[in-house]
Amino acid sequence: MDANATTPLLPEVMEAMRPYWMEQFGNASSIHQQGQTARTAVDRARETLAEFFNCREAEVVFNSGGTEGDNTAIFGLLRPGDHFITTSVEHSAVLRAAERVAERGVEVTFVAPRRNGLVSDGLIDPEEIRRAMRPQTRLISVMLANNETGVLQPVEEIGRIAAAAGIFFHIDAVQGAGKVPFDVRRFGCHLLSMSAHKIHGPKGVGAMYVRRGTPLEPLLVGGSHERRQRAGTENVAGIVGLGKAVELAMTSLEDGTVERIAALRNRLEAGILAVPGTGVNGAGAPRTANTTNIRFEQVEGEALVIALDLKGVAVSGGSACHSGSTEPSHVLMAMGLDKSAARASLRFSLLRTATDADVDHGLRVVPAAVEHLRALSPVVAGTAG
């Protein structure tokens, strides 16, 4: 139940990739037959990505994944003196890049999620983005779906605001890709980043949509790969795997899979909420079908992660990149949770292959583990912060 950290390859993806490590190992830049076979495979994946994004094939750039896409958007567009708007609930791939450009003379505004009551539902108010705009604003970057809560941001509205002001707009779509209908023209973005390993594809490969004419400086220079937008010998097998994973994700958006996963998530969520002293972070906001983030009063989140792991249920507190750190989630803190409530919150995120039996197992294990931990240390509440 930690699909937002990563997902396993689907067998079809593995099968599609296999020949490109073995018999068809050519370099896609070589002019001989092996090279051309590899080139054809990369081109085919590019067609799939263009269909997925709803863009031209020339607007697809293959890269190493979400972190690279986020970094490329920020380092590739912003120069000293520019102003950059992003949000305080972004992934660290955006936040750390924003901090770095800030050290180099870029002004950065982090817009917080709206407060509708004491605690936020995690949604960014597009009007707050508009209010943050300045004459020097060059780039806005907002995620499509939050990795910790699944909350879906109003990117279309933000895209319209950016377009009206002539500001570049980047979407970190790593957690939204394959989970909600997708269209870069409808989103109104100039740049969009996604990653294969969140949609049952391989790790270390992803793609970026770069709207024609966007003056994006490449992060990596060298050979003339990817129309000089991303140097480096193409990860042919990875790109083929990404193409196959995207193809399967597109099918899953139309064949009832999303509804099936939503029903499983809703059953899991309702079952856990039957435990006293629990609540959903981001409840009320539109969310991806597979994710729920739940706070458990009087429980230390890390202890619960370990207790569930021992029972065969993998979940995470905060995002995987922060595991091992005792810092509470920056996303939940930005939503107004106090430190102990943030530390007592866990993310459950279902694979596309999740079954009723998985949810049954989760519901056997979670309430019992919570009860056990509360019995062990009934005074944890309020002391963790």
In angstroms, give the least distance from the CB of 157 to ligand PLP. 19
Touching ligand PLP, residues 62-91 (CB under 6 A):
65-67, 70, 91
> Is residue 321 annotated as part of the catalytic site, yes or no?
yes
Distances, alpha carbon 259 to alpha carbons 115, 288, 363, in Å: 29, 11, 20
Nearer to ligand PLP by Cβ, of 67 and 293: the residue is: 67
Binding mask 142-181 for ligand PLP (x = CB under 6 A): -x---x------------------------x-xx------
Min CB(71)–ligand PLP separation in Å: 9
- Interface of this chain with ligand PLP, residues 193 to 252, rule: CB under 6 A: 195, 206
The type of residue at 343 is R
User: Of these, 17, 28, 38, 93, which contacts ligand PLP (CB under 6 A)?
Assistant: 93
Give the footprint of ligand PLP on residues 319-338 (CB under 6 A): 319
Q: Which is nearer to ligand PLP, 220 or 363 (CB)?
A: 220
Q: By rule CB under 6 A, what string of x and - marks binding of each residue 104-143 to ligand PLP? A: ---------------------------------------x
Closest-by-Cβ residue to ligand PLP is: 66
Nearest by Cα to 268 from 331, 351, 381: 351
Phi first, then psi: what are they for 18, rounded to 5°? -45, -50
**How far apart are the C-alpha atoms of 324 and 67, rounded to whole Å?**
20
Task: Name the one residue in this structure whose structure tokens are 């990795």.
Answer: 147
CB closer to ligand PLP out of 189 and 299:
189
Per-residue binding letters, 334-363, with ligand PLP (x by CB under 6 A): ------------------------------
CA separation for the pair 95, 100 (Å, rounded): 9
In whole angstroms, how close is the CB of 190 to ligand PLP at the nearest point?
Answer: 18
Q: Applying CB under 6 A, which part among 45-53, 59-67, 104-112, 212-220 lies near ligand PLP?
A: 59-67
| E strand or H helix that includes residue 194 | strand 191-195
Binding mask 277-316 for ligand PLP (x = CB under 6 A): ----------------------------------------
Q: How far is the CB of 94 from ligand PLP (least distance, A)?
A: 7
Q: Which of 102, 180, 220, 321 is catalytic?
A: 321
Is the CB of 210 or the CB of 369 nearer to ligand PLP? Answer: 210
- Closer to ligand PLP by CB, 38 or 174: give it: 174
| Joined tokens for residue 360 | 């049954």
Q: Can you tell me the distance from the alpha carbon of 40 to that of 239, in angstroms, rounded to the nearest whole number?
A: 11
From the list 358, 267, 375, 372, the residue with the least C-alpha distance to 315 is: 358
Cβ–Cβ under 8 Å, residues 227 and 178 = no
Write down the residue that tokens 């049954």 correspond to: 360
Q: Which is nearer to ligand PLP, 204 or 312 (CB)?
A: 204
Phi, psi angles (nearest 5°) of residue 168? -70, 145
- Smallest gap from Cβ 202 to ligand PLP, in A, equals 10
Q: Yes or no: say if 44 and 50 are a contact pair by the CB < 8 Å rule.
A: no
DSSP 10: P
Give CA–CA dist 31/307, Å, rounded. 55
Which of 92, 69, 39, 93 has its CA nearest to residue 210?
A: 69
Query: How near is the Cβ of 179 to ligand PLP at its closest, in Å?
Result: 12
Phi and psi at 142, nearest 5°, equal: -135, 140
Q: Collect all residues with Cβ–Cβ distance below 8 Å to 44 and sequence separation of at least 6.
A: 240, 243
Separation CA 297–CA 379 (nearest Å): 11
Residues in contact with ligand PLP, counted by CB under 6 A, come to a total of 14
List residues near ligand PLP by CB under 6 A.
65-67, 70, 91, 93, 143, 147, 172, 174-175, 195, 206, 319
Catalytic residues, by residue number, are: 321
